[in-house]
Structure 1
């Protein structure tokens, strides 16, 4: 899906892909906290607050794949850029219910909860990131 984000450079906007948000993980956490109330109320509160925090993150954070970088936007402002040339590895955990996106750069490691369309994420990763396996 091509993005229509007004904050992306119009020259590269036709080549950029913005991932749609996914609320699957936050919904599972919030729903799981309901029966947990009777077993452990404090844990239920922590789980539900974390789920609500992830709802907020999914609503405000966007990942945009461009020809050269993964750009992270928060509330329509570019927050961070990750050039593909610095990537060494990436993986989406777990096959049945993806919950975590991992990627390693030359100088750092990143873990992101899956708060976006995982199928488009995989497609973009396979399209844009060519990793040299040693």
Structure 2
């Protein structure tokens, strides 16, 4: 986790857990089906590249998506309706819904910090009364 000012900006650290799992799974799948292994390996490679390039940054007002250090998307909390992290034992997918759209992101960043930031910037109690 990288912070410029702890009360203003939190940038999530990358996590290569899912991409590496997919690449390892592709090696195992190669014994069964080369086609399936190729698809799994390509997805793992794609997520590895995204893990290198993409960062999530929480500010007091919005969740920002950065690519190579530049903000490419911003999602103000005022437009959020709901969020969820799927599969608690090993978090693999982050979902959040805004007024006009739904977003799914693979968890290619520190999942504990993600959950801490979600609870800080858009807590569950807030969702119930929005």
State if a TM-score over 0.5 links the two structures.
Answer: yes
2:104 alignment counterpart: 111
1:2, 1:14 within 8 Å by CA — same for their partners in 2?
Answer: no
2:3 alignment counterpart: 3
Q: Distance in 2 between matches of 1:56 and 1:87?
A: 28
Query: For 1:6-85, what aligned pairs fall within 5 Å after superposition?
Result: 15-85=8-78
Deviant stretches of 4+, over 4 Å: none
Per the TM alignment, residue 13 of structure 1 is displaced from its structure 2 partner at its CA by: 7.9
Per the TM alignment, residue 14 of structure 1 is displaced from its structure 2 partner at its CA by: 6.0
2:128 alignment counterpart: 133
1:2, 1:15 within 8 Å by CA — same for their partners in 2?
Answer: no
Query: For 1:88-103, what aligned pairs fall within 5 Å after superposition?
Result: 88-103=81-96
Normalising by the residue count of structure 1, what TM-score does the alignment of the two structures yield? 0.89
Per the TM alignment, residue 30 of structure 1 is displaced from its structure 2 partner at its CA by: 0.2
Per the TM alignment, residue 35 of structure 1 is displaced from its structure 2 partner at its CA by: 1.5
Unaligned runs of at least 5 residues, structure 2: none
Normalising by the residue count of structure 2, what TM-score does the alignment of the two structures yield? 0.92
What do you get for the CA RMSD once the two structures are aligned? 1.5
Cα deviation per residue 1:56-102 (whole Å; 9 max; x = unaligned)?
Answer: 00110000000010010011111000000110000000111110000
Query: What number of residue pairs does the alignment pair up?
Result: 127
2:66, 2:72 within 8 Å by CA — same for their partners in 1?
Answer: yes
Q: Distance in 2 between matches of 1:43 and 1:26?
A: 16
Per the TM alignment, residue 132 of structure 1 is displaced from its structure 2 partner at its CA by: 3.1
